[in-house]
């Protein structure tokens, strides 16, 4: 997960175990991602997530190759858009959380690319949507796993749009504007999810981040991921970290 705190110095995805040499938080006891063992989770019943109306409309965003991945932020000074229009409340979190960015993690092949694992299962890709409570600075991240679409027309069309655009940003600091519908990208109305407290998954690996890992999977075409592997970078994920006795909750629908 990248955020505004991301540092481009001293790190890459070739040896994530070396990050702590320059970023001490990376050696902390509450790091992300993790392998979630579903039988070891605590059942909870969280309130519904409530999103602002802008999540259901097409908004203009800017994709940026930041040297580590392609992050997407709301386009500035266009059509009166404002980050304050994109927010959510509820889901067991206190306060209002505003959109910061979204981005995708992937691997060299379809066997691994996700950051979080579920019962040891790896997925070909994982999306992160980063939000911030402007009152207290709390960060919250929604994570979604991907599966390879059985047929090309089963692919989530918004993510197809993302990979088509992102794969054209061949150089660091290349940008492109594109419209996206966040509700179509996230599918966050799915109420089955895991919840725990962890960290950023990129340096400086700051802890205290509230993670919501949704169970519903998003279909993506293998060719879409191949575009990113061939044009951007082959691997963009951090291996799982130790849980260290943290409590992992699971939202119960009962």
Specify the CATH number for the domain of residue 205: 3.10.200.10
Residue 151 banded pLDDT, cuts 50, 70, 90: confident
As a whole number, the mean pLDDT across the chain is 92
In the predicted structure, residue 8 carries a pLDDT above the cut 60: no
Q: 216 lies in a domain? A: yes
- pTM for the whole structure: 0.94
Please give the helix or strand (H or E) that residue 141 lies within, else none.
Answer: strand 139-148
In the predicted structure, residue 5 carries a pLDDT above the cut 80: no
Count CA atoms within 13 Å of residue 96 on its CB side: 10
If one counts every other C-beta atom within 10 angstroms of the C-beta of residue 24, the result is 11
Catalytic residues: 68
In the predicted structure, residue 102 carries a pLDDT above the cut 50: yes
Q: What is the pLDDT of residue 78?
A: 58
Q: 234 lies in a domain? A: yes
Query: What's the chain's Rg over C-alpha atoms?
Result: 17
Q: 99 lies in a domain? A: yes
Residue 80 banded pLDDT, cuts 50, 70, 90: low
Residue with tokens 């969280």: 46
- Which has the closest alpha carbon to 215: 189, 181, 244, 240? 189
If one counts every other C-beta atom within 10 angstroms of the C-beta of residue 30, the result is 19
Q: Which residues pair with 197 in a beta bridge?
A: 210
What domain range includes position 159?
Answer: 22-251
Distance of CA 86 to CAs 120, 153, 175, 187, Å? 34, 29, 21, 15
Distance of CA 33 to CAs 21, 143, 196, 217, 240, Å? 19, 10, 10, 17, 5
Summarised one tens digit per residue, pLDDT across range 180-191 is 999 999 977 668
Residue with tokens 């981005």: 103
Q: 1 lies in a domain? A: no
In the predicted structure, residue 160 carries a pLDDT above the cut 80: yes
Q: 124 lies in a domain? A: yes
- Which has the closest alpha carbon to 82: 74, 73, 90? 74
Phi, psi of 134 (to 5 degrees): -70, -15
In the predicted structure, residue 2 carries a pLDDT above the cut 60: no
Q: 5 lies in a domain? A: no
Rounded Cα distance, 122 and 111, in Å = 7
Per the structure, how many domains does the chain have? 1
What mean pLDDT do residues 25-34 have? 98
Give the least confident one: 5-14, 32-41, 99-108: 5-14
Q: 50 lies in a domain? A: yes
Rounded Cα distance, 90 and 88, in Å = 7
Distance of CA 23 to CAs 26, 28, 86, 217, 226, Å? 6, 10, 31, 32, 31
Beta strand 218-220 with 139-148 is: parallel
Rounded Cα distance, 196 and 32, in Å = 10
Count CA atoms within 13 Å of residue 135 on its CB side: 4
Q: 160 lies in a domain? A: yes
Summarised one tens digit per residue, pLDDT across range 32-75 is 999 999 999 999 999 999 999 999 999 999 999 999 999 999 99
Summarised one tens digit per residue, pLDDT across range 161-179 is 999 999 999 999 999 999 9
Rounded Cα distance, 252 and 254, in Å = 6
157 exposed, middle or buried (CB, 10 Å; 0-12, 13-18, 19+)? exposed
């Amino acid at each position: 997960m990248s955020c505004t705190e991301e540092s481009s110095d001293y790190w890459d995805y070739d040896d994530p175990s070396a990050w702590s040499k320059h970023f001490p938080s990376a050696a902390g006891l509450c790091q992300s991602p993790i392998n979630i063992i579903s039988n070891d989770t605590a059942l909870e019943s969280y309130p519904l997530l409530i999103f602002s109306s802008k999540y259901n409309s097409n908004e203009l965003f800017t994709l940026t190759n930041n040297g580590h991945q392609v992050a997407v932020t709301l386009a500035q000074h266009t059509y009166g858009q404002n980050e304050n229009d994109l927010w959510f409340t509820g889901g067991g979190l206190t306060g209002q959380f505003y959109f910061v960015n979204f981005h995708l993690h992937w691997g060299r092949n379809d066997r691994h690319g996700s950051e979080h694992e579920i019962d040891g299962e790896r997925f070909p890709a994982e999306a992160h949507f980063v939000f911030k409570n402007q009152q207290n600075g709390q960060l919250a991240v929604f994570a979604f796993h991907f599966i390879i679409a059985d047929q090309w027309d089963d692919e989530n069309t918004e993510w197809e749009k993302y990979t088509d655009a992102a794969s054209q940003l061949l150089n660091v600091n290349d940008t492109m504007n594109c419209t996206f519908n966040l509700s179509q990208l996230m599918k966050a109305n799915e109420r089955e999810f895991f919840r725990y407290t962890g960290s950023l998954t990129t340096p400086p690996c700051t802890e205290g981040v509230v993670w919501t890992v949704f169970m519903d999977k998003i279909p993506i075409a293998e060719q879409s991921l191949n575009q990113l592997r061939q044009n951007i970078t082959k691997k963009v994920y951090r291996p799982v970290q130790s849980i260290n006795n943290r409590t992992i909750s699971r939202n119960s629908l009962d």
